Amino acid sequence: MSDVSQTHASLAPSSAQKFRQRFLPFLVFGAILLLIPMTDPSRTMYALMHQMAIYIVFALAYNMLLGKGGMLSFGHAVYFGFGGYLCMHAMNWIEDGGVWGAFPTFFLPVLGFVGGAVSAVVIGSFSTKRSGTTFAMISLGVAELIFAGAFMFDSLFGGEQGISGDRMNGPEVFGLSMGPQSDIYWFMAFWTILSVIAMYAFTRTPLGRLSEAVRDNPQRVEFIGYNPQRVRWLVFSISGGFAGLAGGMSAVNYEIFTPEALSLIPSGFVLIMAYVGGITYFAGPIMGAVLLTYMSSMMSDFTEAWLLYLGLMFVLIVMYAPRGIAGIVFGFWDGIRGANSAELLRKWAVQLLGCLLMLIGLIILVEVSVRWSNGWGEAFEPFGLHFTHADIVTWIAIFVPIVAGGYVLRLATREKEEMPA
């Protein structure tokens, strides 16, 4: 009871802390973005980074709902899609000239934001009346409805073929012709930085704070005189807007939008991205977006089973690390700076060893199965080793690490239980 005298002022972070926590990460992020083109990336690298940029914005927008607002949506790609489609149409209007001819394609994401936000306002007007599972169900139903309905209105959605356009029209801004990938890089960097800052700033506004309160305890929010439904609706609309902005970025990048962009598949992907990254941290979805985009385009070159690994990772994170990768990273960071860091490090090393052992066995199992299933008589040959499904050595190499890893992990958990709480 010695800290009764503590005032709010003394709890407030010092200006140095503020700088470190609120501004430094953005400066570092911005600096990295500026430095990347100096390494003269290949076209593949550019394509990958552009995809990451789109998903960073989309995943952050999504997390505004799930992480901050507690609304689990299975259909957020709808707003991404509406934003993107509006931009595609605008791109074609720009090409046709007239009043639109003066609109630079560089600023199309603004329209994307408008498109996403307007559609979210309309749909949110009824879907945000409830939260939790009901909201999730409505989001799913609306997404399926719009996806199926999109094929009926060809002039809006282009049918199976989608809508395509050419981004190299309209006036140039910042000396960017928008043709080559390196020009698009600056476009992506600009909009990513802007949206990340805007979305971070949003978490600091009263509305952002209220949305967290609504997530945790809507009744109490009502007691203090706010309408939780209205808060959810507002947050939903803004989140839809940023999703639309990401859609606009995507429209400029790919110059095509198809109804699949509205379907449950991208909606599910962004959910996995945000959750794997860690929904309780602002930076979580960014990490998730970068990691998953990388995985989806690079890992698919190494293994056919990458979706299985992805699913496995997602399920394991839901089960054992609900705070996601960001939770693990920040937990580790706090741990090594904490008091008994040596003890923690030892524990983590043991856990890591267990996980790695199990992972090795699992990877061999999956890879050998994939090749066996393809039926082309191919063997899994990592680092000059040779595994085939008919070989007993393979099965030893699968089960020994899994059992050993499981044992190590069990040991580690038992130790933890024995430690005084």
In whole angstroms, give the CA distance from residue 87 to residue 125.
24
Minimum distance from residue 149 beta carbon to another protein (Å): 5
Question: Three-state SS for 268?
Answer: helix
For the CA atoms of 110, 127, 142, 242, what is the dihedral angle to 10 degrees? 20
Cα 151 from Cα 91, distance rounded (Å): 21
Q: Which residues contact 247 (CB under 8 A, 6 or more apart)?
A: 58, 79, 80, 81, 82, 83, 84, 85, 87, 112, 115, 116, 257, 261
- The closest of 148, 182, 153 to 85, measured between CA atoms, is 153
Measured from the Cβ of residue 148, the count of other Cβ atoms closer than 10 Å reads: 12
Determine the longest span between alpha carbons in the chain, in angstroms: 75
Report the distance separating Cα 123 and Cα 140, nearest Å: 12
The only residue of 14, 376, 384, 392 in contact with another protein, by rule CB under 8 A: 376
User: Which residue's CB is nearer to another protein, number 212 or number 255?
Assistant: 255
Q: How far is the CB of 178 from another protein (least distance, A)?
A: 10
- The region, left, alpha or beta by phi > 0 then psi within -120 to 50, assigned to residue 378 is beta
**Residue 70 near another protein by CB under 8 A:** yes
Q: x-or-dash pattern for another protein, window 221-260, by CB under 8 A?
A: ---------------------------------xxxxx-x
144 lines the binding site for another protein (CB under 8 A): yes
Does residue 205 bind another protein (CB under 8 A)? no
* Terminal CA-CA length for the chain: 23
413 binds another protein (CB under 8 A): no
Q: Does 141 bind another protein (CB under 8 A)?
A: yes
Applying CB under 8 A, among 110, 121, 137, 353 the residue interacting with another protein is 137
Binders of another protein among residues 77 to 116 (CB under 8 A) are: none
User: Per CB under 8 A, does 341 bind another protein?
Assistant: no
Q: Mask: binding to another protein, 28-57, rule CB under 8 A, as x and -?
A: --------------xxx--x----------
Residue with tokens 């385009």, as numbered in its chain:
297
Rule CB under 8 A: say whether 185 interacts with another protein: no
Count of residues engaged in binding another protein, rule: CB under 8 A: 70
Residue in this structure with the two tokens 């507690």, named with its chain if needed:
70
Determine, following the binding rule CB under 8 A, whether residue 160 of this chain makes contact with another protein. yes
382 binds another protein (CB under 8 A): no
Chain residues binding another protein by CB under 8 A are: 42-44, 47, 70, 72, 126, 130, 132-134, 136-138, 140-142, 144-145, 148-149, 151-155, 159-162, 164, 166, 168, 179-180, 254-258, 260-261, 264, 268, 271-272, 275, 296-297, 300-301, 304-305, 307-308, 310-312, 314-315, 318-319, 322, 366, 369-370, 373-374, 376, 378
